[in-house]
Structure 1
Amino acid sequence: MIKRRDFLISTGLALGALAIAPSFAFAAKKKSIGIQLWTLRDTLPKDVKGVLELVRKAGFNEVETFGYSVDKGFFGTSVTDFKSILDDNGLKATSNHFDFNLMIKNGSTDLVQNYIETANQLGSNYITVPYIVSELRGTTADDYKKLALHINKVGELCKAGGLKLAYHNHDFEFTKFGSTNGYEILLNETDKNLVDFEMDLYWVVRAGHDPLELFKEHPGRFKMWHVKDMDKVNPDFNAQIGTGTIDFKAIFAQAELSGMKRFFLEHESNYIPNPIESAAASYNYIKNNLI
């Protein structure tokens, strides 16, 4: 099984019903249900066309990409052909996870310009920073402040290219530095006009934090979410949405406060069942219970 990190290196909780209803209806209704294609990482590289057809049949109409290579496009499928397959299935790649580790390492923005061209060719809204390797993100508060400077620089390039930049978290960003942590530093040191955040709800909860508190502290900053549940027995495992421990109804009720414009279902590398069937089951739960 491909592991995301190895891949990137190598290429108020409960509210009263009356209080919830207006915010919930306004914020979540008519939202598209997207899928981060990493969920289908074992099959997508082998059959891009076939897997995207299954994504469409499951009900999704937005995708978030991963795995782009300047030389090979998306798993050997050119950007032009990939866009054509998406169009044929009524899918839009609204966000793209691209690898920024090399840019942060050597300071070159050549690759960023290629990402911008690719995202615009796909008709995307966002370029997203998915994961920074440990040796580049550092181990101190100052390291995270330097990382924020890099992110702002990319945000400027994205804005000039007609796109928006987002930062996707894991759990390591919540490493404490005195009274703060890496995630708070990134939120405070990045320019709100240049950088949005794609909150991975699972990783926030897994790190021992409350998404709703972050919404209150940084309203409107989390324009995208990753939606995946936490297994009731082993928190290291994901679960189909609605079968785990995360209270998504309370979270979706505060979508407006968060600033959420779109979200992507994701089952990560610690997820066991059949990927497309599990994704379809999670899609149905979201459609019937959350939006």
Structure 2
Amino acid sequence: MITRRNFIINTSLATTAVLALPSLAFTMDKKEIGLQLYTLRDEIAKDVKSTLEKVAAAGFTTVETYGFSIKDQFWGLSPLDLKKILDANKLKAVSGHYNLGSFLYDGNTSELIAAIDAAKILKSEFLTIPWVDEPFRKNIQDYKKIAARLNEAAKLCANSGLKLAYHNHDFEFQKHDGITGYEILLKETDKNLVCFELDLYWVVRSGNDPLQLFKENPGRFKMWHVKDMDKIDQALNTEIGSGSIDFKTIFKEAKKSGMKHFFLEQENNFAGDSFQSIKTSCSFILKELL
């Protein structure tokens, strides 16, 4: 993670800045808080430019994109046009979620190459794979094949100055003959090429412990998704600090995990509007976790 210039501002003032003067919220010596833009997917569908302006005004300096395709690019914008909007708002897309078409299943590299080109234009650090379709993750051999594809994609990414990451849900933690898909991915991918973006919500929801993963695989989790779990309905998210996940304990082990960047994400169950929810979460992270 990148630290900012060291200003003499105490935590209480910084927390106030998030709500009152958002643009000043990150001028102290704190780790940057990123935002997975899928959180604001309804707003982005209406107006990308104004949404990103509000993201910057809320104090965020890094984002993670989603939804790229050869046909539609980024929500109808070319990577170059998106980069211009990001630059105008002093936002950096350090990572992006790219589905890569059918590459994981049949090795077709057309979407992968397009994704690499897009990520390079955005000057991203990571190209992140967010999902594996259900028919292609039914058994151990499926996961071994996915691992091999990840290694292949990671080499292409490395040749272009990018790092490849894999983002989990809960299905990877299902066991197949006594071993989970996630264990296979961790074991059979090249540690020097493939890293992991750990979605803390999905790890906890699957019944697993992020701290145990850090202990068993130190340094592999270069990015996190930080989203909280509703105390009543585990299928729902909530604002950070309002749910059931013990982020304070998890953040204490950030160094062991290898975390360089983390992205706030909330997929549903906003207390008010989505912009207010990300401000609330951001305030809690600044005050309690960093």
1:235 aligns with 2:234: yes
Deviation at 1:253, TM superposition (A): 0.3
Match of 1:95 in 2: 95
Deviation at 1:101, TM superposition (A): 4.1
Paired amino acid for 1:170 = H
Match of 1:85 in 2: 85
Cα distance in 1, alignment partners of residues 268 and 179 from structure 2: 29
Cα distance in 1, alignment partners of residues 136 and 196 from structure 2: 19
Match of 1:61 in 2: 61
Match of 2:287 in 1: 288
Cα distance in 1, alignment partners of residues 101 and 201 from structure 2: 23
Cα distance in 1, alignment partners of residues 30 and 163 from structure 2: 22
For structure 1, the residue ranges without an aligned partner over 5 or more in a row are 1-28
Paired amino acid for 1:285 = F
1:46 aligns with 2:69: no
Taking structure 1 as the reference length, what is the TM-score of the superposition? Answer: 0.87
1:32-43 equivalent positions in 2, closer than 5 A: 32-43=32-43
Match of 2:139 in 1: 140
Cα distance in 2, alignment partners of residues 160 and 78 from structure 1: 23
Question: Match of 1:94, SS?
Answer: strand
The superposition leaves residues 194-236 of structure 1 with CA deviations (integer Å, 9 ceiling, x where unpaired) of 1000000000000000000000000000000000001011111
Match of 2:196 in 1: 197
Cα distance in 2, alignment partners of residues 176 and 209 from structure 1: 12
Match of 2:247 in 1: 248
Cα distance in 1, alignment partners of residues 166 and 146 from structure 2: 11
Paired amino acid for 2:85 = I
The superposition leaves residues 134-183 of structure 1 with CA deviations (integer Å, 9 ceiling, x where unpaired) of 0122x111211111111111111101111000000000000112332111
Match of 1:176 in 2: 175
Cα distance in 2, alignment partners of residues 271 and 210 from structure 1: 26
The answer to whether the Cα contact below 8 Å between 2:101 and 2:112 also exists between their aligned partners in 1 is no
Cα distance in 2, alignment partners of residues 153 and 160 from structure 1: 11
Match of 1:167 in 2: 166
Task: Name segments (4+ residues, structure 1) moved above 6 Å.
Answer: none
The answer to whether the Cα contact below 8 Å between 2:238 and 2:269 also exists between their aligned partners in 1 is no
Cα distance in 2, alignment partners of residues 106 and 271 from structure 1: 38
Cα distance in 2, alignment partners of residues 195 and 273 from structure 1: 38
With 259-268 and 98-107 compared, the bigger mean Cα shift is at 98-107
The answer to whether the Cα contact below 8 Å between 2:205 and 2:234 also exists between their aligned partners in 1 is yes
The superposition leaves residues 54-84 of structure 1 with CA deviations (integer Å, 9 ceiling, x where unpaired) of 1011111000001112233211122111101
Cα distance in 2, alignment partners of residues 61 and 179 from structure 1: 42
With 165-174 and 102-111 compared, the bigger mean Cα shift is at 102-111
Match of 1:71 in 2: 71
Deviation at 1:30, TM superposition (A): 3.0
Question: Match of 1:246, SS?
Answer: coil
Cα distance in 2, alignment partners of residues 30 and 113 from structure 1: 35
Deviation at 1:272, TM superposition (A): 6.3
Deviation at 1:248, TM superposition (A): 0.4
Cα distance in 2, alignment partners of residues 200 and 68 from structure 1: 20
Match of 1:153 in 2: 152
Taking structure 2 as the reference length, what is the TM-score of the superposition? Answer: 0.88
Cα distance in 2, alignment partners of residues 270 and 107 from structure 1: 37
Percent of aligned positions that are identical:
53
The answer to whether the Cα contact below 8 Å between 1:215 and 1:258 also exists between their aligned partners in 2 is yes
1:222 aligns with 2:221: yes
1:241-280 equivalent positions in 2, closer than 5 A: 241-269=240-268, 273-280=272-279
With 247-256 and 263-272 compared, the bigger mean Cα shift is at 263-272
Cα distance in 2, alignment partners of residues 193 and 111 from structure 1: 23
Cα distance in 2, alignment partners of residues 84 and 240 from structure 1: 30
Cα distance in 2, alignment partners of residues 183 and 269 from structure 1: 25
